Amino acid sequence: MIVVVGGGPAGRYAAMRLAGAGKDVLLADRRSDGLGGQCLHQGCMVICALNDVARTMEHLDVLHRSGVITGVPGLDYPTLIAKMREIISTIAGVIAEETRTAGVTIVSGEARVEGRTVIISGERLEPEAVIIATGTHPRRLNIPGEELPGVETSQSLFTLPTLPRRLVIIGGGVIAAEVAYIFSLLGSQVTILARTTLLKEFPDILVKEAKRELRRVNINEQAAVIRIMGEDHVSGVEIRTSEGNSVIGADTVLIASGTEAEVSAISGVSLTHGGFIRVNERMETGVPGVYAVGDVTGTSSLTPVARWQGRTAADIILGGEPPAPLKTVPQAIKLRNDLAFCGHHDQGGLKVTIPSPAGPGSFWAIPDRATGKASMTADPDSGEILGMAEASPYASVIAAYHALLINAGVSIDQMERFIEVHPSADGTGWIGRYLAETIAERKES
């Protein structure tokens, strides 16, 4: 028997792959609301659900200001949350059935891992292999006022029965930006407090687009949070900036300052300095037969990477070898547009940037000059595609295929053969052809 602890994307993928190869697999998950992990219940799918509504509200506002429609429908926030939870429950049921159909035995409840031993409901198991996929939990700030009612994390914010009136978000990453966009469109007054800068891991071109799309949000960068204020409930946040101390009023505070590994029920394996489970490229922990995959390893917080690691661990258990390392992993956030990138976009090379063309999802953005941006970079000597970045209604899909080109080592000259679907809001195809022609001309001259 092989035991997988954790039913999120990494653990479930590994379990199904092993079961498909004929292994006896037991998947233990402690969530009472079903499989799917944080991605389904507090992360990706929640953001998708709420972003759909926020984008619709923004599109309706644009059409209303254009005089195309009269009146804008109001929002019923409690119904939004209830319906969203209903659909998430449906998805959880579907993936549970899918997992069982693949041959995986699912056990609900807490599992403890002590080296090679797994303890579930008092029963000690000594399986052939163990895969730890327990994920992470939100990191706390350890500042005064953090325990006040009204201080939320990504695990609790989306269960609030009413819409926050004044929401302060502590953090400058993807979650902070996406939640700020959503709630600013749903009707909250939103402030972001970034300790350094907003979306510091993203290309400059996308940071500029993000700030444009977050125009309803008060963004404070280089802001140190001193304390969260209030007596029986949150009333504000005191911060320190280059201009001195100030207080920002709030009835709800979201702490979006990163995550910590969920290892409270794990022992006997080595941890990194940051508290994540240490693994090698084969996802091995150092304890023979014990593997760790997904966010608990601290290597990435991206769902596709978690699945990739789950597949890797399963293949190693089945006698295979790890896949070749990826040169790049595509990333995106969802605001009014998808803001997506892959590769080393800001690190040298020949770069071309253009406004994203008008197309599906962006036609009515033309009056505001808000169709987004498209950019691509290539090495003028080798023809290697170095990276791309785009803000458009479906840039996340474009980035995934560009990542394939980069990971496969496809040269920019192949872009001369590219032909796009029309109409399209993607500008990277045009840039790719231009770069291919320009580099070819340089080599000939």
**How much is the pTM?**
0.96
On whether both 352 and 401 belong to a single domain, the answer is: yes
Q: What is the dihedral of CA 134, 138, 143, 149, to 10 degrees?
A: -120
pLDDT tens for the chain, 445 residues: list them: 999 999 999 999 999 999 999 999 999 999 999 999 999 999 999 999 999 999 999 999 999 999 999 988 899 999 999 999 999 999 999 999 999 999 999 999 999 999 999 999 899 999 999 999 999 999 999 999 999 999 999 999 999 989 999 999 999 999 999 999 999 999 999 999 999 999 999 999 999 999 999 999 999 999 999 999 999 999 999 999 999 999 999 999 999 999 999 999 999 999 999 999 999 999 999 999 999 999 999 998 899 999 999 999 999 999 999 999 999 999 999 999 999 999 986 778 999 999 999 999 999 999 999 999 999 999 999 999 999 999 999 999 999 999 999 999 999 999 999 999 999 999 999 999 999 999 999 988 7
CA–CA gap between residue 230 and residue 227 (Å, rounded): 10
Does 345 fall in a domain?
Answer: yes
Does 325 fall in a domain?
Answer: no
CATH code for position 24: 3.50.50.60
| pLDDT at residue 301, as a whole number | 86
On whether both 7 and 122 belong to a single domain, the answer is: yes
| pLDDT at residue 291, as a whole number | 98
Q: Which of 269, 287, 317 is the last residue of a domain?
A: 317
DSSP summary character for residue 165: S
CA–CA gap between residue 315 and residue 127 (Å, rounded): 17
Residues spanned by the domain of 213: 151-255
On whether both 97 and 58 belong to a single domain, the answer is: yes
CATH code for position 395: 3.30.390.30
CB 146 within 8 A of CB 255: yes
| pLDDT at residue 445, as a whole number | 79
Does 283 fall in a domain?
Answer: yes
What is the CA 358 to chain-centroid distance, rounded?
26
Structure tokens belonging to residue 135: 């994920």
Structure tokens belonging to residue 30: 């402690």
Does 323 fall in a domain?
Answer: no
For 295-384, strand residue ranges (E) read: 331-334, 338-343, 350-355, 373-378
On whether both 134 and 263 belong to a single domain, the answer is: yes
Sheet with 117-120, side-by-side order of all strands: 123-125, 117-120, 111-114, 266-267
- The terminus-to-terminus CA distance of the chain in angstroms comes to 65
- What is the domain count for the chain? 3
On whether both 227 and 97 belong to a single domain, the answer is: no
On whether both 43 and 120 belong to a single domain, the answer is: yes
| pLDDT at residue 412, as a whole number | 97
On whether both 357 and 309 belong to a single domain, the answer is: no
Does 90 fall in a domain?
Answer: yes
On whether both 113 and 171 belong to a single domain, the answer is: no
On whether both 49 and 86 belong to a single domain, the answer is: yes
On whether both 335 and 237 belong to a single domain, the answer is: no
On whether both 264 and 122 belong to a single domain, the answer is: yes
